Structure 1
């Protein structure tokens, strides 16, 4: 038993926040799965940009795509789809053993479509068909324009990872989009038991933005609140999850439907002064997922520190933290607005850099 196994016993599934052709080809992904108790994989545009911009593992497929006259956009997704298919196959046994809850691999729609509902749902359908694996999840950002695409995808039986969530208010909209999606899926005759979804709440980026503002304020009261916003925010989201998917709300879902689990994303600490495992040990609880970079996974395995459920019953303290932040002058609405905008922009920039690089290589 490892600390990752202890985390699973508490109710938190650990997914690796990384994927590359090199990991698959060398057998590393299988080793990480076996030796570090990983039960899923997530990707994003920045991860694929890093993977495809180094090494030689994509060269053979790239040469074939070049001969076929493929565009950069098509080439990037062709290579991404191959990696995700292979990862899905590797985690198929986990998917079956957990009844579809884990063993999941996520692939994201083009971030440039974040403000375009029609383009988002069209690409979600296309990726679902291209990858053609039951344990796939399509990542769709939780923007105003893309939330209807979340509902539409779920209604068609597509499992969805709703990403780039930074506030409890936005999360409430995500929950409603999920519930409406599975209700429509049931009405459409789809098997709702086969549809799974997670809501990806970004944690460390919240602290990065809030800490910067606290340091600008500079008072003792402000400085004492550094490193507290991200965990408090996630704990408030978990309290909402418990209300929305608890026994009193069971009638809001069709019979056989699954709960939409909260997923803690961006859980590698950005500030080296903070414990490397703080976004893991302090966010452990039933029906959750934590997607971690391997560095964070290794820190958990090395340092341990899993001490049971640290989510249930924390709402009051989390609200007190938010009240203290507001009292020293932190405008949380503005923080969230900045994070939502920058979240999309960062993925768009990474994607565009990858497309530019791929265009040059195909030429």
Structure 2
């Protein structure tokens, strides 16, 4: 019998591997199906930047854009149709995975319009509209973890819709996200929904924490500062898992679990290594534990499949070590609160910029198609 691949070992250790990418080419070429069969991929996440890259390249969307131009749709309506179609088609590809895992995996995420990240009511309405348009049980609606997003998370879950909470950087905000999730599940229960059909993940961003903190450590230019480089992202995520373990063993959770509710799993996002000095599987192999998701760009997935060394659980029992990293950073004057606040702002700004670029690209394509017809 051949040895299991690193991605198979990662799955066996309790990590669900999701791909952080989607395009029509992946769907029509059978490439996505191949990743399921060969590299243990059991889900997909998308975001505004991913759709912007997919739609602006190649010719895969030309026919649909021409059709939508003929119907007189504007860019916003066209983007909604294009992205919900890709996600619905991906949900079909993952339907057998969803069935085999009782809906825990086989999930495809689609994000609300990022310009609504500070608009609670607008986010709730958009979440319901996306859920209805995709029309698949295995879709996850992505809602950013802004302060305004917390109530939207609760209301969306309370309506029986599964949610991926995105752009979480701080442990304090993560606690608030879990509370919003619990309130949502309590609301769903009061509304008479079947709790066993409501799924959620909390996307905790990893590599961007190191990118910002490393920049500040480099500016200090000391030996102690250098020794802490590349450690904050993993430490922060490990402490998030400690929060997950703590809250999902509470009495409040036990009552919901008894009623059929499923825990909101931590999802490691932004797991592509930005600094070539670090191992390219750093944010995979150092963040292995049961009941987590790791959503990887294809480059990271390929690296893990090729040479990832999976050594069982690399999170539990390492919380003191993780705390000491964050404490040492504070001791050097690198403010954790300042870093995570900046990263949330930058993350949202990036998604809004990508969304606006996408709308511009699609509008240009619609105009060009309109002239040709």
Q: TM-score with structure 2 length normalisation? A: 0.96
- Structure 1 residue 258 and structure 2 residue 252: aligned? no
Which of 255, 269, 281 lines up with 2:273 in the alignment?
269
Give the secondary-structure state (helix, strand or coil) at the position aligned to 2:41.
coil
| Structure 2 Cα separation of the partners of residues 2 and 96 of structure 1 | 24
Q: Once the 2 structures are TM-superposed, how far is the Cα of residue 185 of structure 1 from its aligned partner? A: 0.2
Partner of 1:91: 94
| Structure 2 Cα separation of the partners of residues 246 and 93 of structure 1 | 31
- Structure 1 residue 159 and structure 2 residue 162: aligned? yes
| Structure 2 Cα separation of the partners of residues 180 and 247 of structure 1 | 14
Which of 74, 79, 82 lines up with 1:79 in the alignment?
82
CA contact (8 A) 2:182 2:253 kept: no
| Structure 2 Cα separation of the partners of residues 97 and 150 of structure 1 | 27
| Structure 2 Cα separation of the partners of residues 61 and 308 of structure 1 | 46
- Structure 1 residue 53 and structure 2 residue 50: aligned? no
1:130-169 alignment to 2 at 5 Å?
A: 130-169=133-172
- Structure 1 residue 10 and structure 2 residue 25: aligned? no
Which of 276, 282, 287 lines up with 1:283 in the alignment?
287
CA contact (8 A) 2:88 2:134 kept: yes
Q: Once the 2 structures are TM-superposed, how far is the Cα of residue 252 of structure 1 from its aligned partner? A: 4.9
Give the secondary-structure state (helix, strand or coil) at the position aligned to 1:306.
coil
| Structure 1 Cα separation of the partners of residues 212 and 161 of structure 2 | 34
Partner of 2:308: 304
Partner of 1:205: 208
Q: Once the 2 structures are TM-superposed, how far is the Cα of residue 358 of structure 1 from its aligned partner? A: 1.0
Partner of 2:66: 63
Q: Once the 2 structures are TM-superposed, how far is the Cα of residue 250 of structure 1 from its aligned partner? A: 3.5
CA contact (8 A) 1:262 1:288 kept: yes
Partner of 2:323: 319
**CA distances 1:166-202 after superposition (whole Å, capped 9, x unpaired):** 0000000000000000000010000010000000000
Partner of 1:223: 226
1:91-110 alignment to 2 at 5 Å?
A: 91-110=94-113
Structure 1 vs Structure 2 CA RMSD: 0.9
Which of 355, 359, 363 lines up with 2:363 in the alignment?
359
**CA distances 1:71-106 after superposition (whole Å, capped 9, x unpaired):** 101101101111101100000000010111000000
Partner of 1:182: 185
Q: Once the 2 structures are TM-superposed, how far is the Cα of residue 8 of structure 1 from its aligned partner? A: 1.1
- Structure 1 residue 345 and structure 2 residue 345: aligned? no
Give the secondary-structure state (helix, strand or coil) at the position aligned to 1:310.
coil
Partner of 2:332: 328
Q: Once the 2 structures are TM-superposed, how far is the Cα of residue 146 of structure 1 from its aligned partner? A: 1.1
Structure 1's 247 and 170: CA in aligned 2 closer, same or farther, altered over 3 A? closer
Q: Once the 2 structures are TM-superposed, how far is the Cα of residue 304 of structure 1 from its aligned partner? A: 2.3
| Structure 2 Cα separation of the partners of residues 250 and 178 of structure 1 | 11
Q: Once the 2 structures are TM-superposed, how far is the Cα of residue 327 of structure 1 from its aligned partner? A: 0.9
CA contact (8 A) 1:179 1:252 kept: no
Q: Once the 2 structures are TM-superposed, how far is the Cα of residue 246 of structure 1 from its aligned partner? A: 1.8
Runs of 4+ in 1 over 6 A off after TM superposition: none
CA contact (8 A) 2:107 2:139 kept: yes
Give the secondary-structure state (helix, strand or coil) at the position aligned to 1:146.
helix
| Structure 2 Cα separation of the partners of residues 160 and 214 of structure 1 | 36
